Amino acid sequence: MNKLLFDFYQTDKPLSGKLVYRESEYSLDFIECSNDNLVRLSGHGGCTSLTVHTLQIEVGINTGKLLYPWGLFPLIHAIDKPLIIPNSYYGELSINLKKK
């Protein structure tokens, strides 16, 4: 059986772009600001999506890097609450398929 693992690498900056929630569509979208940066991170083989229920996570085929989320993401039962934002770091997540 194969295992799907995720590797984290700390970087100095995020993928340039903007994550947008479209309330009328109940969806997430990512608007890239730099196609060159996206090609560099995804490789020349293009992209595919990793599906988590109705949410898609765009993945570079050659690099295995997770690029950005998009897709249906209804927040109809979300509750507004204060959020304490934890310390975070810029970084990249990559898919690593381990064969047994």
Give a yes or no: residue 33 inside a domain: yes
d(CA 83, CA 68): 22
The confidence score (pLDDT) of residue 63 equals: 92
How many domains does the chain fold into?
1
Give a yes or no: residue 53 inside a domain: yes
d(CA 68, CA 45): 17
Give a yes or no: residue 55 inside a domain: yes
d(CA 77, CA 88): 27
Question: What domain range is 22 assigned to?
Answer: 3-77
**Is residue 95 within 8 Å of residue 59, measured between CB atoms?**
yes
Question: What is the block-wise mean pLDDT of the chain (100 residues), using blocks of 10 residues?
Answer: 90 88 94 81 89 92 92 90 92 87
The confidence score (pLDDT) of residue 33 equals: 72
CA geometry: angle at 10 spanning 7 and 15, to 5°? 95
The confidence score (pLDDT) of residue 64 equals: 92
The confidence score (pLDDT) of residue 97 equals: 82
